[in-house]
Amino acid sequence: MTETFEKILEDTKEKIYRICKIYAVSPLEPKDLFQEVIFTIWKSLPTFKGNSSIDTWIYRITLNVCLRSKQKSEKTYNKTLQLESIQFIPLEIPNEDNQQEK
């Protein structure tokens, strides 16, 4: 299985990385996505039934991992955006002149 995985990885790594770069948000994220895709392929390789070509199967795994990651980052971004949109208006602090007048 290790030899099969290494051959598959050697044949498809450029395609996988290209897809990861398309869906990545920050400059470091394509590498993280690539590692996650490779791990998912390694984990799922025993379940490959051969109903489609190995390239199609890897493409779907890559796409699913990237889309899932993008959805997670959008949720995080939306939460951050909502917090940034809240405006805080400080209460007026009475100055010393007003206190003396009272």
Least confident span in 6-15, 46-55, 89-98: 89-98
**pTM score of the predicted model:** 0.68
Split at pLDDT 50, 70, 90, the class of 77 is low
The number of domains in the chain is 1
Give residue 25's pLDDT.
74
* Model confidence pLDDT, tens digit, residues 41-54: 999 999 998 899 99
Mean pLDDT of 6-33: 88
Query: Is 19 a member of any domain?
Result: yes
Q: Domain residues for 26?
A: 2-70
Q: Is 96 left (phi over 0), alpha (psi -120 to 50) or beta?
A: alpha
Query: Is 28 a member of any domain?
Result: yes
Give residue 4's pLDDT.
84
CATH number, position 27: 1.10.1740.10
Query: Is 102 a member of any domain?
Result: no
Query: Can you spell out the DSSP letters for 70-91?
Result: HHHHHHHHHHHHHHHH----PP
